[in-house]
Amino acid sequence: MGPAISRSIMMFFACLLLAAGAASAQPALPSQSRGVLILDAGWRFTRGDPPNAQAPDLDDKDWTKTTLPHSFDAAEEGDGNYYRGPAWYRREVMVAAPRPGRRLFLQFDGAATIADIWLNGKRVGRHEGGHAAFRFDITDALVPGRNLLAVRVDNGATRRVAPLGGDFTIFGGLYRPVSLIETDDLHFDMMDFGGPGIYARADRIEAGSAAISLTARISNASNTRRRVRVSSRVLDAEGREVAVLSGSVNVPAKGTEPLVLRGTIAAPRLWDGVRDPYLYRVVARIGPAGDEVTVPLGIRTFRIDPADGFILNGKPYPLRGANLQLNARPGIGTAVSRAQVAEDLAILREMGSTGVRFAHFQHPQAAYDEADRLGLGVWTEVGVVAEIEDTPEFRANAAQQLRELIAQTYNHPSVMVWGLGNEVYADDPRVARVLTELQQVAKQADPSRPTAYAHCCQADDHPKAMVSDVIGFNRYFGWYKDQNGQTLGGWASGFHAAHGTRAFAISEYGAGASIVHQADPPGPVEPASGWHPEQYQTDYHERNWLEIADKPYIFASFVWVAFDFASAGRHEGDRRGINDKGLVTYDRRTRKDAYYWYQANWSAEPMVHITSRRLDLRRQPEAEVKAYTNGDSATLLLNGVEVGTLAPRDRIAKWKVKLREGANRIEVRANGRSDSVEWRYEPAPAMIASDR
């Protein structure tokens, strides 16, 4: 727990804890005025839509006891007919009467995909969209003592809420934390699309200083116009104060007013991606001891050039990495912990990634925090995927999701690109109209960052691909068979030659792989089949990366996908319901050979990895040993005997060997590292002739 909070909040928390059981109270921010209680335990859950489920006197003793976060269909992730529909969550909340001048807000970090909220049988509100945080002011709905909170969550198909389609399972539930937040009547805008109500940035960076601006949205819930003074301290990574910004504003009763503060940081240290991901903090406070909010600040400049690619702080910085489709795990779906989110980003950074695409919707705040800390440049986007509806309801929902994404992640220096959508298949002007509206929303909310659209299935210069500031292309040459014989590198060269003034990225490329399917060489593979040998994915990525590695005008390239993920409609590879294009398995336990191919090319950490290690039963004595390394030389030992040393070519070292019958130990040494596998050679059983 952080610094001491006021006695009234302590009393407030104490009353809550009487009902919360295992729920824990902890202030989210170092504040004398704001308190946060995580409502994780004490919930009861049922799938379906029982009548009067919102009623305080409903007997829910037969409902399932559960703790948040919770995905209600995670056990069915491999089933193409997994449950999509309504479910209910209920719990009691005990509160004391809040003292005058205080407000209470209910915050949901994520509820998939439509949430209806009731308190004491009265409807509080609805939120449509499964991936952003949202809040309700429940001050006037609470009563002293026992309160019954009921939440109906529905992940059923709807034509009004994005995404309408997509190659992924739509998990349902209260899959991110729920919390109760207490603030003063005067507070940083809690209703600003789920964001902190603070927008901090470096406006101008010179050799000896950085000009800082902060826009604070101040809300006044009282009945009196108030004169408000706001101070903002900028702290370096060691907690030292390096700048103070302050100003005053008049805020009308029941109104919200923005205030812009400006200041300067002397001798700033830049947030420089993986080279030096240095972070400042901005601590903003209302009055001497009022509401307080802390947001990250990274001081950096970047631009995307059609010829030179991505430029960070004046130096080339190609964004290389993978798509993170969703933070989900077997058996729990999207109800992952902060530690599991951090593990995902750490695995990508260990591969040598400099960037990551958060596809195809807003990811948890922990993902952006980790990207900031690790120095990964982020492309993040909203769930306009596969299909659109050109209706006022859908357009309003897509715009709302984009405003939420920007408000909630604006302060993260890792965020570089706002994604407007992905692979909308329709080939008509409606798509461009919807994307144009989103382009306008993004530019109004944040003109400092470029927008992108991930284009797939029509001509490269289709009108819908030209709406955003830069273009991403999802291109699978060498995997799907409808690519007209093109190669990734040849296509990229052709697009650049024809459209040299348009900056573009490869937002997706990849191939499937099962770690239980092994064949060397892999032979022909049909993507929709049940045969996805790991070696085919390995060969695919070797070929495609070498074709694009030397093209600086490709400002970003993202492998599809970082981790195998749940996609209920698929039935290919070694099991149902999984898209197996990941560089790492769904459970995060196994890094496929292609992962190490990119590590050899992208990481500066010494490494060596022997491929085809899972093809451990050999039927022929002749074999090829192939290893990836970023070292200048590699040495092979077979059964303890040195075979030879060679200089890897394109980070690949290969040797021809002859195995002895039985177990064989293969070891490769390079760059001060060693990797070893055991292959067993057993001749195939002889066929016995029959005279029948």
Contact, 567 vs 586, CB < 8 A? no
- Smallest CA-to-CA distance from 95 within 87, 86, 105, 84 is with 105
- Smallest CA-to-CA distance from 657 within 628, 690, 620, 632 is with 620
Name 304's Cβ contacts closer than 8 Å, sequence gap at least 6: 310, 311, 450, 469, 470, 503, 555
Helix (H) or strand (E) holding 664: strand 662-670
Contact, 668 vs 653, CB < 8 A? yes
Given 182, 423, 542, 667, which residue is catalytic? 423
How distant, in Å, are the alpha carbons of 278, 311, 422, 452, 525 from that of 443? 27, 21, 19, 12, 44
- Smallest CA-to-CA distance from 200 within 125, 279, 127 is with 279
- Burial, 158: exposed, middle or buried (Cβ in 10 Å; 0-12, 13-18, 19+)? middle
Q: Is 113 helix (H, G, I), strand (E, B) or coil?
A: coil
**Beta bridge pairs of residue 66:** 43
Q: Is 423 part of the annotated catalytic residue set?
A: yes
Rg (CA), the chain: 27
For the chain, give percent helix, strand, coil, nearest 5: 15, 40, 45
CA distance 222 to 252: 9
CA distance 170 to 78: 12
Query: Which tokens sit at 669?
Result: 């040494």
**Beta bridge pairs of residue 429:** none
- Smallest CA-to-CA distance from 22 within 65, 74, 61 is with 65
How far does Cα 302 stand from its chain's mean position?
21
Residue numbers annotated as active site: 423
